Amino acid sequence: YDQCQSFRGNHVDYYVVERKPAVGIIAFTTERQLILERQYRHPAQEWIIEAPAGLMDKGPESAPQTIKRELLEETGYQIKKVRHLIDLYASAGVLEHAFKLYIGFDAVRIAEPALDQSEDLEVMLMDLDQAIGMIKSKKIKDAETIVGIMLAQDYIKEHGYN
């Protein structure tokens, strides 16, 4: 809960959800398959299809290091090269939660997922066109994932899968 003064001089009460910064990745395998997750999200009370992501809560780890670790833990895929796509806020009117989004290519499965106790998820692989179709048919609802997939489409048109 915060009390502040607006730029126009009004006193305003804010309820703010504070959360550590997070990172996410639009990751493609060596076969150009997009790695997504189907994960139960209690606040939404449904299974949500989303990009691998995680909080930056493991000490002095950089954002690229965090997303590589999260991708491996959640999916079993290892990725070496990641590129920054965008920094965004999921809901700046309520959340103090910065989100860094990356794209990566040539991910290889090297292990079984090592999920946290709170994670219930399934790994999904699909091509980019299928994911865009799932956005259009409202099967993918997660905002960061939608932004990431659409930016990935533009990135790939300009740079290819590398």
- Tokens 């690229």 — which residue? 64
Query: How far apart are the C-alpha atoms of 77 and 112, rounded to whole Å?
Result: 8
Question: Is the predicted pLDDT of residue 120 greater than 90, yes or no?
Answer: no
DSSP assignment of 122-156 equals EEEEE-HHHHHHHHHTT----HHHHHHHHHHHHHH
Query: How far apart are the C-alpha atoms of 105 and 84, rounded to whole Å?
Result: 12
Q: Which two tokens stand for residue 88?
A: 């965004």
Amino acid letter for position 112: E
Q: In this structure, are residues 120 and 40 in contact, taking their beta carbons and an 8 Å threshold?
A: yes
The secondary element (H helix, E strand) that includes residue 68 is helix 63-75
Q: What is the pLDDT of residues 38-60, one digit of tens each?
A: 999 988 999 999 999 999 987 88
Give the CA angle between residues 78, 131, 83 to the nearest 5°: 40
pLDDT value, residue 126: 98
Query: How far apart are the C-alpha atoms of 116 and 42, rounded to whole Å?
Result: 15
Query: Where does the pLDDT of residue 3 fall: very low under 50, low under 70, confident under 90, or very high at 90 and above?
Result: confident
Question: Is the predicted pLDDT of residue 69 greater than 80, yes or no?
Answer: yes
* pTM of this structure: 0.90
Query: How far apart are the C-alpha atoms of 69 and 91, rounded to whole Å?
Result: 25
Mean pLDDT across 72-81:
94
Query: Where does the pLDDT of residue 97 fall: very low under 50, low under 70, confident under 90, or very high at 90 and above?
Result: confident
Spatial neighbors of 4 by CB under 8 A, at least 6 apart, are: 11, 12, 14
Q: Which two tokens stand for residue 162?
A: 């590398």
pLDDT value, residue 108: 98
